[in-house]
Structure 1
């Protein structure tokens, strides 16, 4: 089947104006002012009039096998389903374990990633969880990254958090060194995804390592950097050093009331201070737990992260006058570049046919296309997960 999107305003994520986009199989074939197909071919035309065409969204931090458990076994969050992913306009995911590296495993994570790919979503994963030593699939971080194509990094490794292994600077340095060498040998970038809690040290250990060896800066990608004003400010200082940071889009009214920085406000601050916004990403922490602790560290409440919050935060950015191309880059070209995801994050000829059509007036998602397959059309999902 050859498919043609007509008359959409295309963001690659930079604005290209009104274009036609032709795709066949899993690839984008042609982008032009006007494309005409002649002859006896099977052609499906998708009307893009009155719509923006964005690259498919990349969620770089999702607990695809579920997460949490801080409040006991009954608070282990469930695996993600395909419907939520489609509703969020997400076409590429990076899966991670998180707090529970004991009851959940890398085998479980890789199996779920394969299942989601069979259903039409591109999935990469990080090896390990909060804990150090890193719990790998093979016998080492190096072998995981070098020989398992789907594994793009390590993490999320917990730092500055009461649930972490309290890693020493030397332990973190050994991890990033191993990731760097394995990535170089396998043609990957190699990311250490770092969970940042709200303990006072925040990014101190990461900054020490990045200051000692500048080459390591591109390998650390700390997340939850909007969880408090103090964490946010430390994230800005890391941006000034040339590092990259990630904001979490899943939140609760209580978190915001207690000082969490809304993603849109954080992005506006970065633009106002003329920091490098290409080093900033948004991720949902989907299916992760959102626990509330009292002053003694006891769990007093828990909610669940949602992947649909990812585009919700982007819409809020646009509504607060963040330029559309910058807002979209936070979940497309930026994570693709930081993680080294080839043929992802842009609408270009030869790239994977991952695209999202949204209504210009409401910004509502109309159509979702992943690897050339239409998963949602005119607001209606065309596919469900195996057990949904």
Structure 2
């Protein structure tokens, strides 16, 4: 896309552009007609034109005629056959920074707005991990609201690795009932100090179900797995006994190793969601299943609607005496490899990287490219090699890999490296 294609009225970087994004509702309405892209729909991918007016997709059709809207400027852009996917939905990230398990010097920094957008991410669900002393739910909620103000769709999970969990209000049910931003509970199994018995898991699931009903949202229990089978086996017992409804559970980090992945496949057959983690890869964690290969194996063996991929951005791992941070762009790397290896047709990858998570979390308007939805659109070439363009709410925030909207605070970091599939 060219600079003139920006429905917000032009390009810019730095605080001025971020301020403009916060005042988006006062900007004049503009329209964008994307022609000739290969649009990933619910059942397939086909060449379609996409009309965006303001923040919404209003039409997707094989050959839209020239559009004239009284008082609304319309810009046409030829996508020349590039893929149009929904912006990625990252349902497991640490926007306030993760890590810290090795002492204060191992704490990672907060994640900037443009680090998410240059990774093709339009929706972020933040969570906490081992550290709920320095990093609190209050700080996480504030960071989510800051990302929302800049244009991302942002939510969070209450809870943590430890059990009983730290929360915003002191009670899982109150968090779910009182805060729209809270879309579920993160907990852990198979870790020291985590949920350790079927009865503990049952009680936690009951609290999630009751709080979610009160808050008018689907019950979501997002479970961190450790690198051995103990956690998976505990979940399997709880689901098999009927004590925890499978449909409310997602297990994440399923690609720690082939043994955990195989056990997670069995859980998926019982109805549990299975989530591949982009930063769990052999060069970071020896013995891990490469994320794109884990996606391929899962899609070969379980229903596509059970499979998601997340970044787990914000953590870090030690390497040669230094800490290697886990960036949101790792999620885009997995998508690129899936496209290059033709792991699945683009419309199924759109479900795995966006639609399935949105559906499980009860989010409407994101995760699909359909009329009436929010215009969060990821434009990428079919091979996964070229720079991306990203629209959020109809506004171009990344163009040809370069962020056009940046965080208003602090100096922007060097661009995150993007791995081109070979």
TM-score exceeds 0.5: yes
Contact (CA 8 Å) 1:101, 1:128: kept in 2 or not?
no
Give the aligned partner of residue 205 of structure 2. 176
Please identify which structure carries the higher strand content: 1
Contact (CA 8 Å) 1:21, 1:32: kept in 2 or not?
yes
Structure 1 residues without counterparts, runs of 5 or longer = 293-298
**What is the rounded CA distance, in whole Å, between the counterparts of 1:14 and 1:386 in structure 2?**
40
Give the aligned partner of residue 3 of structure 2. none
Shift of 1:343: 1.5
Give the aligned partner of residue 232 of structure 2. 203
Q: From the superposition, tell whether residues 363 and 328 of structure 1 become closer, same or farther in structure 2 (CA, over 3 Å).
A: farther
**What is the rounded CA distance, in whole Å, between the counterparts of 2:76 and 2:401 in structure 1?**
16
The partner residue of 1:225 within 251, 254, 258 is 254
Contact (CA 8 Å) 1:107, 1:137: kept in 2 or not?
yes
1:214-243 per-residue CA deviation (whole Å, 9 max, x = no partner) reads 762111111101011111111111112121
The partner residue of 1:358 within 380, 386, 409 is 380
SS in 2 for 1:203: helix
Counting matched residue pairs gives: 378
The partner residue of 1:283 within 302, 306, 310 is 310
SS in 1 for 2:33: strand
Structure 2 residues without counterparts, runs of 5 or longer = 1-29, 413-422
Contact (CA 8 Å) 1:366, 1:379: kept in 2 or not?
yes
Contact (CA 8 Å) 2:195, 2:201: kept in 1 or not?
no
> Where do residues 179-328 of structure 1 align in structure 2 (5 Å cutoff)?
179-213=208-242, 216-251=245-280, 253-255=282-284, 258-273=286-301, 275-290=302-317, 302-323=323-344, 324-328=346-350
TM-score, normalising length: structure 2: 0.85
SS in 2 for 1:332: helix
Contact (CA 8 Å) 1:251, 1:290: kept in 2 or not?
no
Contact (CA 8 Å) 1:12, 1:55: kept in 2 or not?
no
Does residue 1:143 correspond to 2:174, yes or no? yes
| 198-207 or 326-335, larger mean C-alpha shift | 198-207
Q: From the superposition, tell whether residues 132 and 265 of structure 1 become closer, same or farther in structure 2 (CA, over 3 Å).
A: same
**What is the rounded CA distance, in whole Å, between the counterparts of 2:401 and 2:135 in structure 1?**
35
The partner residue of 2:83 within 46, 52, 77 is 52
Shift of 1:251: 3.7
Q: From the superposition, tell whether residues 134 and 39 of structure 1 become closer, same or farther in structure 2 (CA, over 3 Å).
A: closer
| 362-371 or 129-138, larger mean C-alpha shift | 362-371
Shift of 1:65: 0.3
Give the aligned partner of residue 397 of structure 2. 375
Shift of 1:327: 2.2
SS in 2 for 1:330: helix
Shift of 1:129: 1.2
SS in 1 for 2:353: coil
Shift of 1:111: 0.2
Shift of 1:47: 2.1
SS in 1 for 2:262: helix
Contact (CA 8 Å) 1:2, 1:44: kept in 2 or not?
yes
SS in 2 for 1:331: helix
